[in-house]
């Protein structure tokens, strides 16, 4: 379904829409407060963008350097062209070690690859351990936001979900009670897990290490208890040097939630003695995107979610209206790059106000890229009604007699047609009032008054 159709479903519950809108705007305000405290924030963004630009122009060498150093540190490195290969590699590691119980911390890449479903089909128990992700997993839903996966759910719904799935007593939606119950439940899962999967926020070429950021401590609870750690990363997660983490860690959490840093920023270099550490490097279309100069910069993305929180369209239509793994403005430029047919409505889910571009910590020109996608998609979509309307309008506007005739008929109709009909003719009419139709056209007024 297209974005407008899915948005209509979300918009049916006005209370939820208003709550969603406000909750995300609150996060945006926290971001602003945090950002304003940093001296040289704009320069920091510049530095980050220039590091990312260098990375993309030398990506092959950085990846090879990363691999060489990681192997020296005892990390096993795997390469996956696409989602299928990625899933097969992970399953093979698990099967070779007889692993049955897997705990996962947040990774948008594994969502992109559909890993959970794939592993479950092979009899592996997969437990998402980020609270928001666990909530949507229990509800059998995908995340609706890349940083706040369950932002579309109200506390009473989460309460009911935990009661149903875990048989606990209800807590009237008390967040602290529900979080404690989830802690107990997840503890049990951490303690029996054979393997842990994490994403990668940053991978360091010069020393083969990588960094995982969480607030809940779930990545660390998983990886330091299980005997196998598999970290999955897109090829664009590389940074050249360890010192660059200083730049990116200053930007990431402030942009994401308004915190100066996440609670835990865990740096992995070597496996814990007696255990295995694997890194799976995944392309899945990214190297193709690298070859499109106008959209290349979208590979700068560090998945902070700031563009989602600030976007008036995202706030009012929710993550599910996008139908892509990454929703919101950044998802609307990544989506069509993956499947232009499927995601052809996403670049239009924007007012092009540019707020996304303003908040992006790595200076992706998001709204310009949305506009560029529209220029590619519109001709292919063959928007025949719009074209026809434009042609007819052009004819009418180009001919004074036709124009006067049409204006007279039009204003006449508007005066008598019921509002319910005119308002529903176009999407723009919904929720808006037409101005009052004047008794007289300007031309008639001018002719009359000039004569007097």
By CB under 8 A, the residues from 85 to 124 that bind another protein are 85
Stretch that binds another protein, among 32-40, 347-355, 366-374, 416-424 (CB under 8 A): 32-40
Tell me the C-alpha to C-alpha distance, in Å, between residue 98 and each of 101, 124, 227: 9, 10, 11
Where does this chain touch another protein (CB under 8 A) — which range of 146-154, 310-318, 347-355, 423-431?
146-154
| Residue 63 lies near another protein (rule: CB under 8 A) | yes
165-168: list long-range contacts, CB under 8 Å, 24+ apart: 165/138
Bridge partner residues of 319 (DSSP):
none
Minimum Å distance from CB 53 to another protein? 5
Among 81, 342, 430, 443, binds another protein (CB under 8 A): 81
- The minimum distance between CB 12 and another protein, in angstroms, equals 20
Among 13, 95, 121, 288, binds another protein (CB under 8 A): 288
Residues 375-434 close enough to bind another protein by CB under 8 A? none
DSSP code, position 279:
E
CB 66 within 8 A of CB 238: yes
**Which residues inside 171-230 make contact with another protein, applying CB under 8 A?**
173, 175-176, 178-180, 183, 186-187, 190-191, 207, 209, 215-218, 220-221, 223-225
Quote the tokens at residue 115: 């890993």
Asked if 246 interacts with another protein (CB under 8 A), we say: yes
- Dihedral angle of Cα 128, 130, 136, 139, to the nearest 10 degrees: 60
Q: Which of residues 338-367 bind another protein (CB under 8 A)?
A: none
311 touches another protein by CB under 8 A: no
Per CB under 8 A, does 450 bind another protein? no
Give 366-373's long-range contacts (Cβ < 8 A, gap of 24+): 366/298, 366/307, 366/329, 366/330, 366/333, 367/329, 369/294, 369/295, 369/297, 369/298, 369/333, 370/329, 370/332, 370/333, 371/347, 372/294, 372/295, 373/295, 373/332, 373/333, 373/336, 373/346, 373/347
In the DSSP assignment, the letter for residue 151 is T
Indicate whether 291 belongs to the interface with another protein (CB under 8 A): yes
Is 15 an interacting residue with respect to another protein (CB under 8 A)?
Answer: no
* Binds another protein by CB under 8 A, chosen from 2, 73, 368, 411: 73
């Amino acid at each position: 379904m297209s974005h407008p159709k899915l948005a209509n479903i979300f918009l049916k519950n006005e209370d939820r829409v208003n709550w969603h809108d406000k909750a995300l705007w609150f996060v945006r305000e926290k971001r602003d407060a945090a950002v304003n405290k940093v001296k040289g924030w704009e320069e920091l963004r510049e530095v980050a963008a220039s590091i990312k630009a260098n990375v993309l122009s030398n990506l092959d060498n950085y990846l090879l350097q990363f691999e060489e150093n990681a192997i020296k540190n005892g990390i096993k490195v795997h390469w996956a062209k696409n989602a299928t290969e990625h899933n097969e590699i992970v399953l093979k590691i698990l099967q070779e070690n007889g692993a049955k119980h897997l705990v996962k911390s947040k990774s948008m890449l594994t969502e992109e690859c559909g890993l959970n479903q794939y592993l479950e089909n092979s009899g592996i128990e997969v437990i998402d351990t980020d609270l928001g992700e666990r909530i949507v997993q229990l509800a059998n839903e995908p995340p609706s936001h890349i940083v706040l996966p369950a932002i579309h759910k109200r506390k009473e719904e989460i309460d009911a979900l935990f009661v149903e799935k875990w048989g606990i007593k209800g807590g009237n939606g008390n967040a602290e009670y529900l979080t404690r119950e989830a802690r107990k439940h997840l503890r049990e899962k951490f303690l029996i897990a054979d393997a842990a999967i994490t994403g990668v926020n940053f991978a360091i070429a010069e020393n083969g290490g990588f960094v995982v950021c969480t607030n809940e401590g779930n990545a660390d609870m998983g990886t330091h208890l299980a005997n196998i750690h598999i970290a999955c990363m897109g090829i664009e997660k590389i940074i050249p040097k360890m010192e660059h983490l200083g730049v990116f860690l200053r930007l990431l959490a402030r942009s994401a939630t308004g915190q100066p840093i996440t609670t835990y920023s865990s740096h992995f270099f070597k496996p814990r003695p007696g255990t295995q550490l694997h890194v799976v490097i995944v392309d899945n279309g990214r190297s193709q995107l690298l070859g499109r100069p106008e959209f290349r910069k979208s590979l700068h993305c560090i998945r902070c979610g700031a563009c989602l929180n600030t976007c008036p369209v995202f706030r009012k239509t929710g993550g599910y209206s996008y139908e892509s793994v990454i929703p919101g403005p950044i998802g609307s430029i990544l989506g069509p790059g993956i499947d232009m047919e499927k995601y052809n409505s996403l670049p239009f889910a924007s007012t092009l106000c540019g707020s996304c571009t303003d908040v992006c910590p790595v200076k992706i020109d998001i709204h310009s890229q949305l506009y560029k996608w529209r220029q590619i998609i519109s001709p292919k979509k063959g928007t025949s009604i719009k074209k026809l309307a434009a042609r007819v309008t052009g004819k009418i506007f180009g001919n004074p007699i036709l124009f006067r005739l049409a204006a007279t008929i039009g204003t006449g109709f508007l005066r008598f047609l019921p509002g319910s009909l005119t308002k529903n003719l176009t999407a723009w009419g919904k929720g808006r009032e037409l101005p009052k139709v004047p008794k007289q056209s300007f031309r008639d007024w001018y002719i009359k008054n000039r004569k007097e």
